[in-house]
Structure 1
């Protein structure tokens, strides 16, 4: 991992510009992560107040689950994957109990991007789990994995993925093809690169 020095004032400004008021770093991370996928949700006229209450409950669920995970002494990939599956199920239950279609595609994006943002914010120490973290799946990742790692793009849109076994199998393909590098580290490098290559010259 390459480290660089940056003016603290610049760093704080950039954090504020991207995350807003980040006094509560967990809330900043979960809120920003929610914005990365919420356009794919359909609320069918549900009042804003009810939507916010539901989101807050789900955000609290993510925070509690992550803190419980980080308090565990020893972890392996299987432990993390099981935790991730349970946490996805909890988020799905939160929304479906209110009549909202919420898929594993939505849940993985919220959880995986929350981890990414917690890492960026240095909100908690993720050393014990960083090697096990999943790649946040979106169209850019699917495109990059297809071109660089020769992993076929699924026919179904990621936000519609409703089978956790299918999702986990895709993560396992990523892990196998990426090799020794931590999957989230691969995503950091390749997501930005794919965005840059997609820009018109």
Structure 2
């Protein structure tokens, strides 16, 4: 009995640590009675949105001089998209074909931002026509909220749910939220999950080992994309065709500007060329590679 009691006390201590970690990271608590599963999902979606909009960089591009209440309209679009995302997450069924579910959801999110993107483009154009000294080089009238932002929002929401759900399993926590998280941790689904694409992940696979993938993207995009909108801009150094350039926005289009075609092409070539170990899910692979780059950045 004493051993059981000591074990329970130890678990209680660990539980308080986990609870603190989750609250400081996501503003959620899985302590019994503290928050409903509805509130937890809301917070995880909000955290993912911050990642998807690059911690505020998205809003920094909406200059006050553009007027037209664009920031408020962006928030309105966000709120509408959030409702759709939350509804789809809660109602997700493991019998659904994940890729179809995923693609439809990203399209619906983009649809919620369509009016905002149009008003942003028109307001920006009008401002620049009246203020030539502020004119920026516009890349094909690209939307401010892109498919790249949408994929990051959806994928990070799922990842947040996956991470918190995994912690609940490790700690043997019983919470109604777990009924949602278990769907994405299930063996049938976790292998189908998409990796959230960001600079760290792109940099982690920009190397000699994976140059074939980048060459295939470069070759295939020639049929559908102009040089200005290319996903891969330039792989090798001009003075040394055998040496890959250093990873930067000059060699691969920033993920926040990706179109659906960019994402589809990248995902196709990634799946064909990157071999994720059988004992890993895509998100476990992503965790490892993301952290490796993050640690390198500290040096």
In the superposition, the TM-score normalised over structure 1's length comes to 0.83
Q: Which runs of 5+ in 2 are unaligned?
A: 1-10, 30-34, 121-142, 166-176, 215-230, 233-251
Q: Which has the higher relative contact order, 1 or 2, with Cα contacts under 8 A spaced 6 or more apart? A: 1
Q: Is the 8 A contact 1:25 1:121 kept in 2?
A: no
Q: Is the 8 A contact 1:175 1:183 kept in 2?
A: no
Deviations 1:87-128 (A, max 9, x none): 111111111223353211000000000000011222421114
Q: 1:13 aligns with which of 3, 8, 20?
A: 20
Q: 1:171 aligns with which of 235, 247, 267?
A: 267
Map 1:25-44; keep pairs closer than 5 Å.
Answer: 25-38=40-53, 39-41=56-58, 42-44=61-63
| Structure 1 residues 149 and 37: CA distance shift in structure 2, 3 A | farther
Q: Is the 8 A contact 1:112 1:136 kept in 2?
A: yes
Higher mean alpha-carbon deviation, 45-54 vs 181-190, is at: 45-54
Higher mean alpha-carbon deviation, 131-140 vs 15-24, is at: 15-24
Cα distance, 1:182 vs. partner? 2.0
Q: 2:206 aligns with which of 132, 142, 146?
A: 146
Cα distance, 1:171 vs. partner? 1.9
- After superposition, the CA RMSD in angstroms is 2.4
- Aligned equivalents of 2:208, 2:297: Cα separation in 1: 15
Q: Which runs of 5+ in 1 are unaligned?
A: none
Q: Does 1:96 align with 2:119?
A: no
- Aligned equivalents of 1:90, 1:149: Cα separation in 2: 36
Which of these two proteins has the greater Rg computed from alpha carbons?
Answer: 2
- Aligned equivalents of 2:202, 2:83: Cα separation in 1: 29
Cα distance, 1:65 vs. partner? 1.6
Q: Which residue of 2 aligns with 1:85?
A: 103
